[in-house]
A and B are shown apart, each in its own frame.
Chain A
Amino acid sequence: KQEVTQIPAALSVPEGENLVLNCSFTDSAIYNLQWFRQDPGKGLTSLLLIQSSQREQTSGRLNASLDKSSGRSTLYIAASQPGDSATYLCAVISGGYQKVTFGTGTKLQVIP
């Protein structure tokens, strides 16, 4: 059974700092890994999708990497801003449409 862990559960940083969020998974036989952000009371917003054949994806100040052999993905946020404050979730797609496993998230607070 795939298990997805996100550490730390919460993180508080000053504005402008570069930061890394971690996602670990136990079964390396995955199709994709997707990063989301969730604002309080809102749905999940897709940030980046990394396919199993890719090593990384970039969108603006965000960069996500994938190392299947070690069962890890990292989300790098450059020059953090207060608007980045949210909960960040990773989801591992390791089978058919029903085999999406979510991590429990990292709650990020960026302090002005």
Chain B
Amino acid sequence: DAGITQSPRHKVTETGTPVTLRCHQTENHRYMYWYRQDPGHGLRLIHYSYGVKDTDKGEVSDGYSVSRSKTEDFLLTLESATSSQTSVYFCAISESNGPGELFFGEGSRLTVL
């Protein structure tokens, strides 16, 4: 199994509070991704990173920011959580751009009340 750890695995928070999810990898892969998974929408890309301090937006990036200060860590921040951000968040990594095999973490379940 790919060495990907997400934390926290479960979190309940209130509307308007900031939330940070962490993805930690031990594979030294260059590319890291944050997805959210919702019933009826499947998996949607939020943000991705192609190197330290190199990040870009995915298809559902509004309300989210990311940071990558080290190869192994990719942080997803919800500056002011809303109920529409209640979801399961998955981190993924790949070794190479495009043709690389994707590996996923176990997910972080976030509930915003």
Contact = CB atoms under 8 A, between A and B. Distances in A.
Interface of A: 31-32, 34, 36, 41-46, 49, 51, 89, 91, 93, 95-100, 102-105
Contacts of B56: 98
Contacts of B92: 44
A13 B98 CA distance: 35
B84 interface: no
Interface residue range, chain B: 20 to 34
A44 B43 CA distance: 11
> Of A36, A43, A91, which is in contact with the most chain B CB atoms at under 10 Å from its CB?
A43
B79 interface: no
A43 B107 contact: yes
B101 A49 contact: yes
Interface in B73-113: 90, 92, 94, 97-107
Contacts of B106: 42-43
Given A42-B107, A97-B48, A104-B42, A91 B97 contact: no
Nearest to A31: B99
Contact of A100 (B40, B45, B105): B45
> Of A42, A45, A97, A100, which is in contact with the most chain B CB atoms at under 10 Å from its CB?
A97
A35 to B, nearest CB: 11
B33 to A, nearest CB: 7
Interface in B34-57: 40, 42-43, 45, 48, 50, 56
Contact of B98 (A89, A93, A105): A93
Given A91-B102, A103-B42, A105-B42, A96 B97 contact: yes
Contacts of A93: 98-99
